[in-house]
Chain A
């Protein structure tokens, strides 16, 4: 079976985000999730029962932001609402997007 180019991410409150598979793979967590023989890898549908749509949307935004700019230099910063900082920080840890020294992106 040919793998779909897209995967679906589902938030705790039931919102679904369809994201380019390649973009998602920036996260090691997602990479592990999609390469093993677990449920998610087979269905292409990843449910996150403890992440709200608001946060997940920002994460998905980041996936796309990373994917668009992956080969570029002097990339503009991504806008982050101050009140979400903490939650996003935790989400970043969860998705394994932590080491800021590597990408140079401001999270």
Chain B
């Protein structure tokens, strides 16, 4: 089979005949056709005929000749037919206006001339482009074979390039004589287009299509005939100039806006410009430029002077925030999000504003006189409450409480304000939210009494506010409370205050238990089990005590021992650790340097106590019960005999009242049972007989001898204050409209601490913190065995930050202390001072 190898034979019978395949006749056909095409007479030509002519020339290997011929034909055509009308368009007037920015010409004049020029260019370009497309179609076979093989630019690119070389890059000889620099038509084109765009920016109406056609033309022409995608004239020449011109335009515009000094106008202007430029790219220029031009606007109009605008008096960011100009703020947010992902300028301004407003609240508290507004916490506020310096405990405290509540209200209002801003203007931006939250937390914690005030606010809301309110209202209060707690850094301090206030509320049944429990439940969710353990313990104690009291009552009834002088006992058994030391009677210990004060109870009460004690210990041996007289209350039935000599009015009859007093009050009143008519007791005598601490006794006697509604004791001399030298007697002429009377229990109204009490609280808190820090250090060291000082410090801070911000100095002192107690020893790791745990 391989013996006779196949050969491919040359073509013997070509499909075209010989004489027609010569070059000259074919070129003649084509040349005629080119002229016809330029003159728009193509419709009578046969495409097939022309195609075949070029096809044959290529088959004859005359492709190169054809290529060159077409090129030189086109160059010739350009010289004779295209350039003359163009150079007519380029009048020296146009050159003056376009390149020298001749100010003498009006905008109208400039526009007219520029548009005429662009129209001329457009016509020429469109003709040229159409012709070149048709010619390229005819010469398709040439393009496919010769130009591809010879690595020449396609005939289309080459002929389109003529437009670039002979028109755009034409200096038109003498026309530039009076300019000091050379120029080409392209320069004029650019200048005219840019001028038109600036006119449009200034509000003129220009022929957008014309501009669009000019830029499309530039997009279709390349720097060289190889036509690399990134070398479009639009990108290489026009766009940079456009961007530079825009930059200048917006820089000037921005400075003008700055002079007018209206940040609000600036915002709207910038927003409008951005929209316009985007729009311009879509309709007039090219989408290729959209991103770049908006960057220019971002930079020149927004970023460049942003801080100046934001700082403006009256319209700047401060006033936007203060006056709730939400629209301005949302525009601002959008603009800033464009230019800065972290929005640092806005963030910083917001933070300062929050801080300032927060500190303003504190300042205004200091400036406000709280004597004037009725402090509703205590109805019977003495009139001369303005006298702050000398203790008028009731009024000063009430004022302070009002101040605390005002502070909290203001803070909440501020918080609401910024929440609204966040949702309506800042799209709930997380970065901004957390920044604002941080600032809130900062200024709240800068205010040294925030923990106490927040607790007071909750106390006030729960005590007064909730009765008869709907669940929704309650919900609002609860939410506010949790929001505030979240901000507090010194949570241990808050815990201390809250515990104290909660204790009062529970013992005096001032609030509704289910709301209290709900709030604690939320705190638990927010701050963890540890935080609420004591509060829950308090609730538990209350519930157990309720059962206990009932059981005891049953027990007594079953005993049949009726003769307890009809004293009913309701008892709260409180677990020491869960309740604040003040309530447990230990508060006084540090204050007056005494042990637990045991006041002397009247015998009838004493019997009752013993009876309960023995009942209690029946099931729970080994426990110790301590009576906390300061925390209890009693209903005392009093009989006021008829006053001799009075025949009319309430005093003419015997009166029976039921007075609700504190336990101390009951003890004091009991003393007067044993006095004869007309006898009186001095303060010292009362104290000696009862052993009630001075401060408590003053309070007790105040409540019984000063307010007219509960003045069952007559004081000598009559004054608004109880002094240790006063004498007290049974007020026989006491009368009341109601049977049940409540002696104001001064002790129970929660109030702001004065500075001494405050120091006490802080001192106690610091002591607790010392223990907590100790525990943390030991816990960490036990696990890690060895640690450098810095590591240890940061670990301790990490562990404790949820409860309070530990002071580094304190940590250091505690470490020293633990070294002294030989829990730790000093070592060195590397060069760093370090510690080792000694088990």
Answer yes or no: do A and B interact. Answer: yes
Binding site for B on A (CB under 8 A): 28-29, 32-33, 35-42, 46-51, 86-87, 90-91, 94, 96, 98
Asked if B186 is an interface residue, CB under 8 A from chain A, the answer is: no
Q: How far is the CA of A6 from the CA of B281 in the complex (A)?
A: 41
In the complex, residue of chain A having the shortest beta-carbon distance to the beta carbon of B49: A49
Bound-complex Cα distance A40 to B138 (A): 13
Residues of A within 8 A of B52 (CB): 49-50
Specify which chain B residues have a CB less than 8 angstroms from the CB of A40 in the assembled complex.
Answer: 46-48
Chain B interface, >50% SS class: helix
B557 contacts chain A at the CB level, 8 A cutoff: no
Report Cα–Cα, A41/B16, bound state, in Å: 24
Is B140's CB under 8 angstroms from A38's CB? no
Q: Is the CB of A51 within 8 A of B47?
A: no
Binds A, one of B37-45, B341-349, B619-627, B678-686: B37-45
Q: Could you tell me which residues of chain B, from 753 to 787, have a CB within 8 Å of some CB in chain A? A: none
Asked if B141 and A38 make an inter-chain contact with CB atoms under 8 angstroms apart, the answer reads no
Dominant secondary structure at the A interface: helix
* Cβ-closest chain A residue relative to B14: A90
Given the interface contacts A33-B48, A41-B47, A48-B48, does A96 sit within 8 Å of B15 by beta carbon?
no
CB of B140 within 8 A of CB of A37, answer no
Instruction: Knowing A86-B11, A90-B15 are in contact, say whether A36-B144 is a contact too (CB < 8 A).
Output: no
Name the distance in Å between B801's Cβ and chain A's nearest Cβ. 66
Query: Could you say which of A35, A47, A96 contacts B48, with CB atoms under 8 Å apart?
Result: A47
Nearest CB to that of A46 among chain B residues? B48
Q: Name the residue of chain B whose CB is nearest to the CB of A10.
A: B48
A96's partner among B42, B45, B141 (CB-CB below 8 A) is: B141
In Å, the complex CA distance between A40 and B48 comes to 8
Q: What distance in Å separates the Cβ of A84 from its nearest Cβ neighbour in chain B? A: 12
Contact check, B42 vs A50: say whether CB atoms are below 8 A apart.
no
With both beta carbons as reference points, the residue of chain B lying nearest to A42 in the complex is identified as B43
Query: Is B426 close to A, CB under 8 A?
Result: no
Residue of A nearest to B17 (CB): A50
Please judge, given known A-B contacts A47-B46, A96-B140, A96-B141, whether A36 and B134 are in contact too, CB under 8 Å.
yes
Chain A residues with CB under 8 Å of B42's CB are 36-38
Distance between A79 CB and nearest chain B CB, rounded to angstroms: 22
B-side interface residues, number (CB < 8 Å): 22
B163 close to chain A: CB less than 8 A: no
Residues of A within 8 A of B138 (CB): 32, 36
In the A-B complex, the 9 residue pairs with the smallest Cβ-Cβ separation, listed nearest first, are A32-B137, A38-B47, A33-B47, A37-B42, A39-B46, A40-B47, A36-B134, A36-B137, A32-B140
Q: Which residues of the other chain, B, contact A39 by a CB distance below 8 angstroms?
A: 43-47
**Out of A33, A37, A96, which one reaches B43, CB within 8 Å?**
A37
Distance in Å from the Cβ of A95 to the closest Cβ of chain B? 10
What is the minimal beta-carbon distance from B782 to any residue of chain A, in angstroms?
A: 73
Interchain CB contact under 8 A, A28 and B15: no
Q: How far is the CB of B403 from chain A (nearest CB, A)?
A: 82
Bound complex: CA of A95 vs CA of B45, how far in Å? 19
B51 at the A interface (CB under 8 A): yes
Interface centre among A32, A40, A48, A98 (most CB of B within 10 A): A32
B51 cross-chain contacts in A, Cβ below 8 A:
29, 32-33
Q: Are B48 and A37 in contact (CB under 8 A)?
A: no
Q: How far is the CB of A59 from chain B (nearest CB, A)?
A: 13
How far is A71 from B51 in the complex, measured between Cα atoms in Å?
30
Q: Is B55 an interface residue (CB 8 A)?
A: yes
8 example contacts (A-B, Cβ-Cβ < 8 A) are as follows: A29-B140, A32-B51, A33-B47, A33-B48, A36-B42, A41-B47, A46-B47, A47-B48
- Give CA–CA (A75, B51) in the complex, Å: 32
Complex interface: chain B residues within 8 A of A33 (CB): 47-48, 51, 137
Residue of B nearest to A94 (CB): B55
A38→B43 contact, CB < 8 A: yes
Contacts of A32 in B (CB 8 A): 47, 51, 137-138, 140
Contacts of A90 in B (CB 8 A): 14-15
A86 proximity list for chain B (CB < 8 A):
11
Q: How far, in whole Å, are A49 and B42 apart by their CA atoms in the complex? A: 20
Chain B residues within 8 Å of A91, by CB: 15
Q: How far is the CB of A64 from chain B (nearest CB, A)?
A: 21
Bound: A36/B43 CA distance, A: 9
In the complex, which residue of chain B has the Cβ closest to the Cβ of A89? B11
Partner of A38, one of B14, B46, B133: B46
CB nearest neighbor in B for A39: B46
CB contacts (< 8 Å) of A28 on chain B: these are 140, 144
Which residue of chain B has the shortest Cβ distance to A35 in the bound complex?
A: B137
